[in-house]
Amino acid sequence: MAKSVTVRTFLNMKQAGEKIAMVTAYDYPTAKLLEEAGVHALLVGDSLGMVVQGQSTTVPVTLDDILYHTRMVTRAVTRPLVVADMPFLSNQISIETTLRNAGRLMQEGGAHAVKMEGGAELADTVHRLVQAGIPVMAHVGLTPQSVHALGGFAVQGRKLPEVERMLDAVTALEQSGAFAVVLEAVPAEVAEAITKRLTIPTIGIGAGAGCDGQVLVFHDMMGYTSGYIPKHNKQYATLASTIVQAAKSYVQDVATGQFPGPDQTVYLKPAERAELEPLLQPNH
């Protein structure tokens, strides 16, 4: 059986030049299949707010939401590293509150690590969590929880001050003990430069191929959603159209009486039918 992926595995893969494949997962069957496919890490992301709950942003997602979905994912797998998102305001109020919330995701949810959005201002928080035995994956660039402050889902790092702040942030987060950092919606050149400066791995999403690994939202990559699809996404399947067509066939079969057929039906055995025959008559 393949060894479990750990934070040490992430570092070893970066040092060996091996790419890390990460996908979001929010439920038991999906996590099970992704493990079978050989995915290295599963992110129970607050993206569930948009692709599962139907929210317009990730802001409404609560810690209890993440905890609920993390339990399902960790119940399903033994090999991938499971990272649980710290949702909006779960890590901004105080270090003590953050420690308590992250601890719940580890202790009650079974997560192997947590992910936090934010820059250099989180360095002390990361340090405290790591001291407590909680591995932290950082997240800079486009931070969806700050979508209202950023003015929308826009690429980050096109101007010198933005890039300088990003470099300061990732340096501080690495020094504080973060084991990896997600770079979201960052120009490829900037992401590659950051990747080369850090000893910890970078996980890109819309940040080019120069990162040490990549992460995609399951529903986007599988074509499980309709409507807006991010530019950085590559669709590896078209589940939405397959599901719609299957459901249409089901509706048609029900309407025509083709379902349920003999193979989907239980019939009485001869002896049972003989005993119940009087009750089966229409005029009984």
Tens digit of each residue's pLDDT (9 = 90 or more) over 115-145: 999 999 999 999 999 999 999 999 998 765 6
How far is the C-alpha of 81 from the C-alpha of 112, rounded, in Å? Answer: 6
Please state the pTM of the whole predicted model. 0.92
Q: Which two tokens stand for residue 279?
A: 């009750």
pLDDT at residue 144, rounded to an integer: 59
Per-residue pLDDT band at 178 (split at 50, 70, 90): very high
pLDDT beyond 60 at 149 = no
Listed in sequence order, the residues at least 6 apart from 230 whose beta carbon sits closer than 8 Å to its beta carbon are 206, 217, 220
CB 95 within 8 A of CB 128: yes
Q: Are residues 48 and 135 in the same domain?
A: yes
Q: What is the pLDDT of residues 212-225, one digit of tens each?
A: 999 999 999 999 97
pLDDT beyond 60 at 151 = no
Report if residue 93 sits inside a domain: yes
Average pLDDT over residues 148-169: 74
pLDDT at residue 147, rounded to an integer: 54
Q: Which two tokens stand for residue 233?
A: 């996404």
How far is the C-alpha of 214 from the C-alpha of 201, rounded, in Å? Answer: 10
Q: Which two tokens stand for residue 174?
A: 């690495």
Report if residue 103 sits inside a domain: yes
Q: Are residues 122 and 259 in the same domain?
A: no
Which of 238-243's residues contact partners 24+ apart within 8 Å by CB, and which partners? none
Q: Are residues 109 and 178 in the same domain?
A: yes
Helix residue spans in 151-187 (DSSP H): 160-175
pLDDT beyond 50 at 148 = no
Instruction: Find the domain containing 158 and state its range.
Output: 7-237
Q: Are residues 92 and 185 in the same domain?
A: yes
pLDDT at residue 52, rounded to an integer: 94
| DSSP-derived 3-state class of residue 269 | coil
Q: Which two tokens stand for residue 281?
A: 């008559």
CA atoms within 13 A on the CB side of 243: 10
CA angle 50, 109, 40 (to 5 degrees): 70
Domain count of the fold of the chain: 2
Q: Are residues 81 and 212 in the same domain?
A: yes
Report if residue 49 sits inside a domain: yes
Q: Are residues 43 and 178 in the same domain?
A: yes
Q: Are residues 121 and 33 in the same domain?
A: yes
pLDDT beyond 60 at 152 = no
Q: Which residues are catalytic?
A: 184
Per-residue pLDDT band at 57 (split at 50, 70, 90): confident
- Considering 204, 222, 237, which residue would you say is the last residue of a domain? 237
Q: What is the pLDDT of residues 232-251, one digit of tens each?
A: 789 999 999 999 999 999 99
CATH number at residue 132: 3.20.20.60
Q: Which residue has the higher pLDDT, 133 or 151?
A: 133
Share of the chain above pLDDT 70, in %: 93
Helix axes 160-175, 123-131, angle to 10 degrees: 20
Q: Are residues 96 and 201 in the same domain?
A: yes
CB 142 within 8 A of CB 57: no
Report if residue 220 sits inside a domain: yes
